[in-house]
Amino acid sequence: MTVIAARARLLLGAACAVVIAVSSVAVATLAHADLTGPPGTTLKAAAERSGRYFGAAMGRDRLTDNGFLTIANREFDMMTAVNEMKPDATEPNRGQFDFRAGDAIYNWATQRGMRFRGHTLAWHAQQPRFWGSLSGSALRQAMIDHINGVMAHYKGKLYAWDVVNEAFAENGSRRSSNLQATGNDWIEAAFRAARAADPGVQLCYNDYNIENWTYAKTQGVYNMIRDFKARGVPIDCVGLQTHFTGGSSLPGNFQQTLSSFAALGVDVALTEADVTNASSSQYQGLTQACMNVPRCVGITTWGIRDSDSWRGNENPLLFDRNSNPKPAYTSVLNALNAASTTVPGTSTPPSTPPSTPPSTPPSTPPSTPPVTGQPGACTATYRTASTWNGGYQGEVTVANNGSAALTGWTVQLTLAGGQTVANVWNGINTGTSGTISVRNAAYNGSVGANASTSFGFLVNGSTGTAPGSLTCTSP
C-alpha cells in the first residue's frame, strides 16, 4: 500500500474567527486510488483502484497449506485471523496472554504487504474460561484488562479492531450475555478503553444480519452508532459480516444500509462475506453496493476456498476446493474494476486548480444580508475529548454562521511542538505537525445555515498544550 498524504486544499475566501480548542491529528494509510488506470487482474489490484482493499480470513492451520497461501498472497491485501485473536485464544488465563498463533498469521500476512484487521476483543462467544466465573464489575474489569493487554501487544500494527462483536439480538435490542449483564454501557466502555490503548487503530463494531436496512437488528445497531457519535464515544467503523449463507441473502436495500451507516460519520466494511453456492449475482450485488458508497472501505471473505469455509457444505466462497476461481470471482473482479467512487482521502490530486475561481469576499460588509452563502461564513471551535499519558483526542466543530449552506470547509490549526497527528476522522488532513489543515470529507462538506458538523483527531505527544490559531474558511 502506498501511504499518501491528503492533498492540500486551496484556502479560499475570508478566514473566519475561530473559537479555541485543542487537538490533534490525522494520517491514514490508504491505497492510492486511480480510477483511470487499467483494470486490476487480481481482487486486490481491482479494489486498490478505488482506494479499497480485498481481504480474507485465515486460521493458523492454513500457514502450512500452500494452495491457500498461494491464492492469499496473489489476490488479497488485508488479512484477519479466524479464531486466533479472539479472547479465549489471546488470554487463556487471567493476565496470561498468548499471542503465538495470532502473531504467526499476522507476521505471514504483513511480511507480504498486507494490512490486518483484528478480530475480536469483546464477544459473548469464545471467551476465556475464567470470564465464566466472573460477573458485574469484576467481569467488566476483566474485559477492560483484556482490551488493554491485547491492544498493547498489537499497538500501532493493525488497520482496525473489531472491538465488540455481535452484541445485538435479532429484535434490535441488546443480546443478553454475561457482558451485557455488567451494564448497558459495556460497549462504550470497551470502545473508550480501546481508543486509549491504541489511538491510531480504527475501532469497529461488527455484527451479522445488519445488512437489511428495514430489519430491527440493523436499526438497533444504527441507533447505537448514532448515539455514540452524538455523545463522542470513540467509534470509527461498522463491520457488516455479510453472511449470505444459512438462509440469508442479499437484500435489495443493502446499499442504503451502507450509505446510512456511513452518513453517521463512520467507515463501513464487509467483514465476513460468504454466499450460498457463491451466487454470482449476489456477489456482484454486494460488491457493487460497496463500490457505490465512498466510505465502504473494503470487503473480506471468510476464508478463500470452499474447503476453508465454516459453512463448507454451502460452497460459499470465490475459489473451489481445487483453488480455481469460480464464476463469482469474475463477477466480483468486474464489480471492483467498475467502481465509480473512491474512498475519501485516497484520490489522485488534480494537477491543476479548480477552473472556476472563487468569488472574492467583499472588502466591506454588505449593507443587507446576503441571499447566497457568504464567503468564510464558518467558525471552528475546539474541545479536548479525552487525554491520556502521551496523547489526546480533539474535536473541532465547524459551524455555519451564514445564511446559505456551505459547500465545503477547511480548518487550519497549529499544534504545539512535539505533537503529531496520528489519525483524523470526518475530515482530510494536510500535514501532521506544526500548522495543519483539515478539509471536509466527501460526505460532510455541505453544512446548512445555522447547522454544524465536526471532525476529530488523535495526537501523540505532550498533552499540556491545546492546538491554537484556529481558522475556518469556506469557498
48 is catalytic: no
166 is catalytic: yes
Minimum CB separation from ligand G3I for residue 61, in Å?
Answer: 8
For residues 184 and 174, is the Cβ–Cβ distance under 8 A? yes
Identified catalytic residue from 166, 188, 211, 395 = 166
Q: State which residue, 274 or 395, has the beta carbon closest to ligand G3I.
A: 274
Minimum CB separation from ligand G3I for residue 160, in Å?
Answer: 15
Q: State which residue, 272 or 395, has the beta carbon closest to ligand G3I.
A: 272
Measured between alpha carbons, how far is 282 from 254 in angstroms, rounded to an integer? 11
Strands 428-430 and 435-439 come out as antiparallel
Which three cell numbers, joined as nine digits, stand for 402? 451564514
Minimum CB separation from ligand G3I for residue 102, in Å?
Answer: 13
Residue nearest to ligand G3I (CB): 310
Side by side, the strands of the sheet bearing 378-388 are 378-388, 391-400, 452-460, 420-425
Identified catalytic residue from 48, 84, 211, 272 = 272
Site for ligand G3I, rule CB under 6 A:
82-83, 125-126, 165, 208, 241, 272, 310
Minimum CB separation from ligand G3I for residue 278, in Å?
Answer: 17
Minimum CB separation from ligand G3I for residue 311, in Å?
Answer: 8
Q: Based on the number of CB atoms within 10 Å of its own CB, is 460 exposed (0-12), middle (13-18) or buried (19 or more)?
A: buried
Measured between alpha carbons, how far is 268 from 288 in angstroms, rounded to an integer? 14
Q: State which residue, 208 or 329, has the beta carbon closest to ligand G3I.
A: 208
Cα Rg for the chain, rounded, in angstroms?
23
Q: State which residue, 307 or 414, has the beta carbon closest to ligand G3I.
A: 307
Which three cell numbers, joined as nine digits, stand for 35? 480510477
Minimum CB separation from ligand G3I for residue 166, in Å?
Answer: 6
Q: State which residue, 9 or 86, has the beta carbon closest to ligand G3I.
A: 86
Number of C-beta neighbours around residue 132 at 10 A: 10
Q: State which residue, 165 or 393, has the beta carbon closest to ligand G3I.
A: 165
Q: Based on the number of CB atoms within 10 Å of its own CB, is 310 exposed (0-12), middle (13-18) or buried (19 or more)?
A: middle
Residue 41 gets the label, from left (phi > 0), alpha (psi -120 to 50) or beta, of alpha
For residues 67 and 75, is the Cβ–Cβ distance under 8 A? no
Positions annotated as catalytic residues are: 166, 272
